[in-house]
Amino acid sequence: KAGVTQTPRYLIKTRGQQVTLSCSPISGHRSVSWYQQTPGQGLQFLFEYFSETQRNKGNFPGRFSGRQFSNSRSEMNVSTLELGDSALYLCASFGGQFQETQYFGPGTRLLVL
């Protein structure tokens, strides 16, 4: 099976712009989670989608949003970018049950100037 894919891999934006990141899960997986990794805060949970519905949400401002499509692909959007949004954004894919392995994609590195 192909692994989790994320696009784009690298992105440079300026403050105030918006950005959309994409994640394609492993075939057959119905759940996608998103995480932000920064040197100061470590890995933090953004949100999780299951069957096109947001099932769980982390403690991030409303500028961070996401959605999931019927083919389980997910997108996350960050509006009005701030310098502090510079981070590695990782998505994870799993079948949908919490007691199972979650598989991560290669990530998208976002730099906000």
Partner 1 sequence: GIQVEQSPPDLILQEGANSTLRCNFSDSVNNLQWFHQNPWGQLINLFYIPSGTKQNGRLSATTVATERYSLLYISSSQTTDSGVYFCAVLSSNTGKLIFGQGTTLQVKP
Footprint on this chain of partner 1 (rule: CB under 8 A): 33, 35, 37, 42-43, 45, 48, 55-56, 58, 88, 90, 92, 98-107, 109
46's tokens: 């953004």
Minimum CB separation of residue 16 from partner 1 in Å reads: 26
Give yes or no for a contact between 73 and 67, defined as CB atoms under 8 angstroms apart.
Answer: no
Helix (H/G/I), strand (E/B), else coil: 42: strand
Minimum CB separation of residue 88 from partner 1 in Å reads: 5
Minimum CB separation of residue 50 from partner 1 in Å reads: 8
Q: What CA–CA distance (Å, rounded) separates 15 from 13?
A: 7
